[in-house]
Amino acid sequence: MEKLKGKVAIITGATQGMGRATAELFASEGARVVVNGRNSTAGEDLVQMIRQKGGEALFIRADVREYDENQRLMETAVDAYGNPDILVLNAGILGLGSITGVSFETWKNTLDTNLNAVFYMLRLGLPLMKEKGGSVVVTGSVATHKGFPNHAAYCASKGAVHSLVRQAAVDYGPEVRINVVQPGPVDTELYRSSAVAFPNSDTILDEVPGSLPLKRTGTPADVANAILFLASEDSSWITGSVLAIDGGATAG
């Protein structure tokens, strides 16, 4: 349908899971996609797959925890395709541990990845996007509204991201729309890795679907479709909003 025809999209954390599904979908909708991640093999494989299907994509390896790396990512993307129309800020890690148990290194690494990297890319991208307008979609989490065992750094980072997005929407409208997708239990490597934090780690993943109103875990494609909606003109009067894609997890 080419809802993103002619658009330039930068997607962080795009080498697996929800980010990869979003990159594939965006390319199929006509966007020129800049794929970011730290796994060069996975990134180049994704780019080749997109190109084989007739899409246009570029992989840029960068560690979004570092401002200089974000700056290089943005500059390289602009040199290749021009100013971005869409940012999908999806890079994230779990950073497991309770407040008294999490290491300072893990705490810092989680905040750097889940929160500071969003700030860095917004700081770099928003001035470029205000010239012609655009859309930013940030991957949040139901952890903003629900506590989970031994997820102190993760919950804190995602809560802060939601607040940052709402504030940014006030400062940068009407030219740029900025929204959050709020995934619940989506079947990704990150989700499966989180099981170890729960007392019932051996059974928790099997128990989750039955606890949801829609009785299944989500797929990366479920989230990618929501990100496409917020990135496209279909959501032209939406900014500062949080869109839950959680199978009803926050409703129950």
Strand-by-strand arrangement of the 56-61 sheet = 56-61, 32-37, 8-12, 86-89, 134-139, 176-183, 242-245
Q: Longest Cα pair distance anywhere in the chain, in angstroms?
A: 51
What is the β-pairing status of strands 242-245 and 56-61? unpaired
| From 135, 141, 194, 232, active-site residue | 141
Q: Is 158 a catalytic residue?
A: yes
Q: Is 194 a catalytic residue?
A: no
Rounded distance between C-alpha atoms, residue 221 and residue 18, angstroms: 7
CA angle 98, 101, 102 (to 5 degrees): 75
88: left (phi over 0), alpha (psi -120 to 50) or beta: beta
Q: Is 53 a catalytic residue?
A: no
Rounded distance between C-alpha atoms, residue 75 and residue 71, angstroms: 6
| From 135, 158, 172, 191, active-site residue | 158
User: Cβ atoms within 10 A of the Cβ of 16, count?
Assistant: 17
Distances (CA, A) of 34 to 50, 73, 244: 11, 9, 25
| From 28, 120, 135, 154, active-site residue | 154
User: Cβ atoms within 10 A of the Cβ of 15, count?
Assistant: 24
The residues annotated with a catalytic role in the active site are: 141, 154, 158
